[in-house]
Amino acid sequence: MGVEAIVIYILAAILFIVSVIKDKEKTKQGVKKGVRSFLKLMPVLVPLFVIIGVLLAVVTPELIGRVLGEESGLIGMISGLFVGSVTFMPPFVAFPLGRELLDSGAAHPQVAGFLVTLMSVGVVYFAAESRYFSKKSAFYRNLISFGGAMIVIMIVWVIYT
Amino acid sequence: MKQRLKQNRFAIIAFALIGVLGIVDYTLVPVALNNTLDQIISMLLIVPPIFLLIGLFDAWVPRQTVIALMGNDSGVRGMALAFLLGAFSAGPIIAAFPLALVMIKKGARYANVMFFLMVWSSLKLPIVFFQITQLGFSFAMLINTIMFVVFIAGALLSEKVFNDDDYQRFEEKAANEG
C-alpha cells in the first residue's frame, strides 16, 4: 500500500472520529450512505475486473514494446493512442514501462501518447461511468482526454525530434 | 428475461472474454483470473476510506456550502478547488464517480465536476511525483502541463455540449443514486 493510501486512511479515521463526537446520528447516515454507494458499485466492479484481468494477461509489456518500439513511426503513435485507451495498467507498472521503452529506443511521442491515454481514457470504465452520469458525458470526457493525447503527441514530436 | 440480459450484459461480456481467452490460449486463463483477484484485492485495500469520506461528505457538507464553493458562480476558485480535490486523491477513477455524483447533487457546477474527474484520472499528485522519477522532470511536466490546459478547456467546453435536459438528467440521477 502506498503512502497516499495511508494518508487517506488516516484522514478518513480522523474525520470519522470527529464526526462521531459531534453527531452520532449524522455519522450513521454518512456511513450508511458510503456503504450503499460501495455496494452499488459492486455489480459493475466484478465483471470490470474480470475484463481488466484478461487485458493484463493479453496486453503484456512485450506486446506494447513491439507496438511502440523503435521506428514504429506514425503507426506506432496511432496504435499507442488506441492501446492506451483500451488497456488498463496501474501507474507503478505503466511509468517504468514508459522509461524502459524510451531506453530501448522507442520515440518520445509514441510513449507520451500511450501513457496519456492509458491514464486518462478509460474504455473499460465506460459502462460504469455511463451508469453514474450518462453515455454522452462518459463519451465526452474520454473524447477530450483522447484529443489531449493527440495534442501531446504533436507537441512532443515537435520538441523531441 | 431480455431485461435481465440487458442488465447483466457487462458480466456476460466479461465471462465471454474469459471463454474466448480459453479457446485462444488456455494457459492465460489462470493468469487473467489471478490478475482479476489482484485488482480486486488492491481495490478493496484503498476504497473503503474513500467511500467513508464520500458518505461523511454527503452527511455533513450542506448544499449551500457546495454551491458557494463550487457552484455556477464559483469561478476560478471553484476550478481551483476541483483541481485540489482531484490532485490530492488516491485510488482508481471508479471511486471518483460516486464522489462526483454527490458533488452534482449538492449543486456543484458541471464544468468543475468534469475537471475534477479529469484531474483525478491523470494529475493525482502522488502519481505525478512517481511519473517525474520515471520519465524525468521536463518530459513529465511537458505532458502534464499540456493535459492541464486541455482539461480546463475541455471542462469549460462541456457546458456548451450539454443542454438543460442533460443537466436535469444528471441531477435526477444524483438525487436517486447519490
Q: What is the DSSP string of chain A?
A: --HHHHHHHHHHHHHHHHHHHH-HHHHHHHHHHHHHHHHHHHHHHHHHHHHHHHHHHHS-HHHHHHHH-TT-HHHHHHHHHHHHHH----HHHHHHHHHHHHHTT--HHHHHHHHHHHHH--GGGHHHHHHHS-HHHHHHHHHHHHHHHHHHHHHHHHHH-
Contact A148 B151 (CB under 8 A): yes
Contact B21 A58 (CB under 8 A): yes
| Rounded-to-integer distance, Cα B138 and Cα B96, Å | 29
Residue range B4-24: average pLDDT? 85
Please choose, from the candidates B134, B35, B143, B52, the residue with its C-alpha nearest in 3D space to the C-alpha of residue B91.
B52
Tell me: pLDDT of B164 over 90: no
| Rounded-to-integer distance, Cα B118 and Cα B103, Å | 15
| Rounded-to-integer distance, Cα B58 and Cα B107, Å | 12
Chain B residues whose beta carbon lies within 8 Å of the beta carbon of residue A122: 93, 121
Residue in A8, A122, A145 nearest the CB of B49: A8
Tell me which chain A residue has its CA closest to the CA of residue B146. Answer: A152
CA dihedral for A10, A11, A14, A15, sign (positive or negative): negative
A71: region left, alpha or beta (phi > 0 left; psi from -120 to 50 alpha)? left
Least confident interval from A86-100, B63-77, B135-149? A86-100
- For residue A65, the Cα-to-chain-centroid distance in whole angstroms is 19
Residue in B39, B147, B150 nearest the CB of A49: B39
Contact A125 B94 (CB under 8 A): yes
Q: In percent, how much of chain A has pLDDT > 70?
A: 99
Contact B14 A95 (CB under 8 A): no
| Rounded-to-integer distance, Cα A151 and Cα A117, Å | 12
Best of A45, A46, A50, A124 to disrupt the B interface (most B CBs within 10 Å) is A50
Q: For residue B95, what is the DSSP state?
A: G
Tell me: pLDDT of B27 over 90: yes
Contact A16 B13 (CB under 8 A): no
| Rounded-to-integer distance, Cα B117 and Cα B53, Å | 17
Tell me which chain B residue has its CA closest to the CA of residue A29. Answer: B59
Cα Rg, chain B, nearest whole Å: 19
The one-letter amino acid at B19: G
Tell me which chain B residue has its CA closest to the CA of residue A18. Answer: B56
pLDDT of residue A4: 77
For residue B4, give Cα distances in angstroms to A37, A134, A135, B17.
22, 20, 20, 19
| ipTM given for this complex | 0.91
Q: Are A139 and B167 in contact (CB under 8 A)?
A: no
Averaged confidence pLDDT in chain B:
91
- CB-facing half-sphere around the CA of A148: CA atoms within 13 A: 32
Q: What angle do CA B32, B35, B38 make, to 5 degrees?
A: 155
Contact A54 B90 (CB under 8 A): no
**pTM, to two decimals:** 0.91
Averaged confidence pLDDT in chain A:
91
User: Nearest CA to CA, how far is A127 from chain B (Å)?
Assistant: 8
User: Nearest CA to CA, how far is B90 from chain A (Å)?
Assistant: 6
User: Nearest CA to CA, how far is A49 from chain B (Å)?
Assistant: 5
Residue range B146-155: average pLDDT? 98
Q: Are B153 and A154 in contact (CB under 8 A)?
A: no
Least confident interval from A107-121, A127-141, B130-144? A127-141
Question: Tens digits of per-residue pLDDT, B44-74?
Answer: 888 899 999 999 999 999 999 999 999 999 9
Matching residue, cell 452534482:
B104
| Rounded-to-integer distance, Cα B168 and Cα B172, Å | 6
B90: confidence class by pLDDT, cuts 50, 70, 90: confident
Residue in B17, B93, B146 nearest the CB of A51: B17
Tell me which chain B residue has its CA closest to the CA of residue A9. Answer: B49
Chain B residues whose beta carbon lies within 8 Å of the beta carbon of residue A125: 93-94
Contact A141 B150 (CB under 8 A): no
Q: What angle do CA A92, B57, B50 make, to 5 degrees?
A: 25
Please choose, from the candidates A139, A35, A44, A132, the residue with its C-alpha nearest in 3D space to the C-alpha of residue B174.
A132
Chain A residues whose beta carbon lies within 8 Å of the beta carbon of residue B146: 148, 151-152, 155
- CB-facing half-sphere around the CA of B111: CA atoms within 13 A: 23
Least confident interval from A6-15, A70-79, B16-25, B67-76? A70-79
| Rounded-to-integer distance, Cα B102 and Cα B127, Å | 25
Chain A residues whose beta carbon lies within 8 Å of the beta carbon of residue B162: 136-137, 140
Residue range A91-110: average pLDDT? 92
Residue range A18-23: average pLDDT? 96
A71: confidence class by pLDDT, cuts 50, 70, 90: confident
Chain A residues whose beta carbon lies within 8 Å of the beta carbon of residue B100: 132-133
| Rounded-to-integer distance, Cα A7 and Cα A104, Å | 36
